[in-house]
Structure 1
Amino acid sequence: MKLKKLKINSYLHLKDLEFDFTYPEGHSKAGQPLDKICFIGQSATGKTNLLNIISESILYLLRIEIVNNQTVWHRNDNYSKIFEDGFLDLVFEDKNLHLGDNFISYDEKLYNYDKISEGSLTNLIYNVNNQNKILYFDSNYVSTENLKYFNTNPLEIVFEKRNFDYKNLDEFIFGEDSSDIYLIKLLESFLDYRQKYDSKVRELLLKGYVSDLEKFNKEFGDWQIQNPSPIEGFSEKFNSLLQKLNLEIDRVNVDYPIPFKSKNTDEIIPINGLSTGTKALLLYMLPLYQIDTEKSIVLIDEPERSLYPDMQMELMDFYRGIAPNAQFIIATHSPFIAASFEPEERFILYFDEDGKVKVRNGVSPIGDDPNDILKNDFDIDYINDFGKKAFEKYLELKNKINSEEDSDKKEGLISKYEELGDKYNF
């Protein structure tokens, strides 16, 4: 499942906007849906609103039921204004899925919104095992509430999860108040392993192996080979990024569901002792790792939050390494994040002279200098007043050098000119 096109008639202050999310002619993937999409724009241009429109509309499409194989059972009037003369196009299982203002089409068949009170109900689309999913991470996802279970002994969580029924949980919206049920579901494999681990230790102790440590270690070692910890695969993926922070996932500690330790001291670090950026990496990484994203669309609002630029530059490659076949749609203020996208994958929202939001594609090539992206795509003069004054002084010295005839004075001016140029990299 991948988004191809979006045309919005009217949603809040977004009006008459059209997006083509396919690769252009001349590209090696010409005509195919973009692998990743980046919305750029100053605050209030509507980046988050776009993520909301996309996620809610696709969730609606995934749940639509049809009466007598011809009519939509319940129309959602939230979309009637957005898609009046507008539309959203998806590729779903290699078939085109179109959401319009007065009809839906799928696999070249039209379904209207006429009211029919009786008939047989079927799903519009057959989503096998909910493989086609929307994962939406909003900008408030990193919260104390969402981190509480990572700071709790696994056996305590195992006891609490007995009261939860989450077998049919299929909504993947990650926000400030994400459900406890779903957070525990994400940790389920780690918790189950910890429970088995504890049971095996008790079993060996009851057999009297405590008096024979060599036999205990052999028996327990054999059990661990036959029952590998889920932390192994998770840490293998995550440690490649954590090493920049001198951190790694500890594969032995069982006091936390996902234990962090310092690479320098081997000291276990509780979740509340980690930086906000590291906490965010964990909260994003876990769903992408645990959920099958083979046919998913992943939306992330401001993935750069609290991360140092060197981490931002690698972030999209890291996430796509975990979910290689998902389509990523992100909204960002970071030129370091934007540099991970090809120009046709960047959509810049801006206000025109009348204050209306318009859209254009990026210009800078993928991997370009963030300063060039700030200038070309963000349309920002990244040199502040101090830098501008220094550059004016630089040009002034250059003119004086050209007109100065006294060799000693000229040498002094050249020295100042070079010093200023080296300082500001002019």
Structure 2
Amino acid sequence: MDIGALTLLKIKKLYIENINNLERIEINFNDGFNIICGQNGVGKTTVLNCVLASFNRKKLGLLNVNAKESHGFWETKFYRNDALDSRVHYIHKEDEINHSRSIKGDKLINSNYIISFSVNNRNMSTQYYGVNPLKHWLYKNYYLSDLNYSKENNFSLVKDCFSMIDRTVSFYKMEEYIDERKSIRNSYSLHNDRYVELYVATTNGIIKIDQMSSGYQSVLLILLSLVKKIESLDRFGVSVHNFEGILLIDEIDLYLHPEWQKKLMQIIRWLIPNAQIITTTHSPHIIQAAKPREIISLGIDGKDQVFIRDLPDSSEYGYQGWTIEEILTDVMGLQETRSDEYKIAIREFDRAMDDENANAAAYSYRKLESMLNPNNSSLKLLRLQMASLGGFNNDKIK
């Protein structure tokens, strides 16, 4: 029986008042990807923690009452099997909020179909007491166990992930070896003296997964760990492709090169197409890979209050055609993409032009020329401005 197909869970809306630095904010979520962006300290992780605390009180210690108030609360509206429901939880400043007894209000949402996922820059060679837990799980789950329908499908997805990350790479085999040097005596070992190796086929031949690039290994580890978490929701195994729950990922771009960030997004869409994904990011490359209406951009106004920024229309293609600089300024709210040194230099150039001081303008131009990309169109504009003062004819520095 495919348990994953029987349970649908989606967050519809989250209202937060006086929690951490969020004084009052209401966020509507769509059924697919929800990418929360904004500067550090704006409250992105607080949003995830409020969602999670609606299901699990152990995460309540990450939430505090706003410094200006005596209590705070959040309301979570959600769909479960197409029925709309809601929960309200609140905390008081005087309470020991790291204890579960301090949460008040409605009962927790009773569902296991929510996964909180942490992205770390680890690779497949990481060992715990001499054994890699993920390799051990893969071998035990798919090689030492009888595969039911769900697990057969999941194992097929696992193998596909290798080529989805890099089309020149494919899953080859897993083998169990006896460690003749020493006996591993701990709870992670397979048979006290054995370990597992995972091999992939590449254009350079058959190699161990540990020999792949750190970026490849990081993406693979995230995907396989996600499969493991979803499967663990039921002892019979949940079909990953049909998972209709909620996935929370804080900083999905963490430690990943932009090339791998986009690839991870694409593969997660393919791997769990029916899941609701709520994630935070600092990366414009993640936003560039987003689809329309998937971005929730948080900003801070002149009164230091967090609000949801109105974003320019992104058409049916999202922000795929936007430059990184356009995304940083118009979507993520970055006020300035240039360095302070550049801003000083351009102000000096403008001042020299206003004063019609050709020597000072030429000096500032040379400084800007060394800072900017040689192909930057701004250099052409600066040269045109210099031409109005006679170019470099009077430049004694040249």
Give the TM interval when normalised to the shorter protein. 0.5 to 0.7
RMSD over equivalenced CA pairs, Å: 4.3
CA distance in 2, matches of 1:229, 1:101: 39
* Amino acid corresponding to residue 339 of structure 1 in structure 2: Q
The answer on 1:378 being equivalent to 2:332 is yes
Q: Report the CA distance shift for 1:57/1:280 in structure 2 as closer, same or farther (over 3 A).
A: farther
Residue 261 of structure 1: aligned partner:
200
Residue 89 of structure 1: aligned partner:
77
SS in 2 for 1:250: strand
The answer on 1:40 being equivalent to 2:37 is yes
Q: Report the CA distance shift for 1:402/1:258 in structure 2 as closer, same or farther (over 3 A).
A: farther
* Amino acid corresponding to residue 317 of structure 1 in structure 2: Q
Residue 348 of structure 2: aligned partner:
none
Cα pair 1:194 1:254 within 8 Å, conserved: no
What 5-or-longer segments of structure 2 have no aligned partner?
Answer: 1-8, 91-103, 178-194, 231-237, 343-370, 394-398
CA distance in 2, matches of 1:79, 1:303: 21
SS in 2 for 1:58: coil
Residue 236 of structure 1: aligned partner:
160
The answer on 1:3 being equivalent to 2:14 is no
Q: Report the CA distance shift for 1:145/1:57 in structure 2 as closer, same or farther (over 3 A).
A: farther
SS in 1 for 2:215: helix
- Aligned pairs for 1:5-404 within 5 A: 5-21=13-29, 33-59=30-56, 84=72, 86-101=74-89, 130=112, 133-139=113-119, 141-143=120-122, 147-148=126-127, 152=131, 188=137, 190-191=139-140, 193-195=142-144, 233-243=157-167, 247-251=169-173, 253-254=175-176, 257=196, 259-261=198-200, 263-271=202-210, 273-290=211-228, 291=230, 292=238, 294-363=243-312, 365=314, 366=318, 367-371=320-324, 372-380=326-334, 381-384=336-339, 385=342, 386-387=371-372, 393-399=379-385
Q: Report the CA distance shift for 1:146/1:300 in structure 2 as closer, same or farther (over 3 A).
A: farther
* Amino acid corresponding to residue 380 of structure 2 in structure 1: Y
Deviations 1:228-280 (A, max 9, x none): 8976542223322134xx64432365556562436132242353x55443333
1:358 deviation in Å? 2.4
* Amino acid corresponding to residue 84 of structure 2 in structure 1: N
CA distance in 2, matches of 1:257, 1:235: 17
1:315 deviation in Å? 2.1
Q: TM-score normalised to the size of structure 1?
A: 0.58
CA distance in 1, matches of 2:105, 2:48: 29
Cα pair 1:189 1:230 within 8 Å, conserved: no
Q: Report the CA distance shift for 1:278/1:56 in structure 2 as closer, same or farther (over 3 A).
A: farther
* Amino acid corresponding to residue 300 of structure 1 in structure 2: I
1:330 deviation in Å? 0.7
CA distance in 1, matches of 2:124, 2:156: 26
Q: Report the CA distance shift for 1:319/1:85 in structure 2 as closer, same or farther (over 3 A).
A: closer
% identical equivalent positions: 22
Q: Which is worse superposed, 46-55 or 356-365?
A: 356-365
Q: TM-score normalised to the size of structure 2?
A: 0.61
Q: Report the CA distance shift for 1:257/1:333 in structure 2 as closer, same or farther (over 3 A).
A: farther
Greater fraction of residues in helix: 1
What 5-or-longer segments of structure 1 have no aligned partner?
Answer: 22-32, 62-75, 103-112, 116-122, 154-182, 198-226, 413-426
Deviations 1:57-98 (A, max 9, x none): 13459xxxxxxxxxxxxxx99989699564111111111121
CA distance in 2, matches of 1:258, 1:299: 30
Q: Report the CA distance shift for 1:41/1:394 in structure 2 as closer, same or farther (over 3 A).
A: same
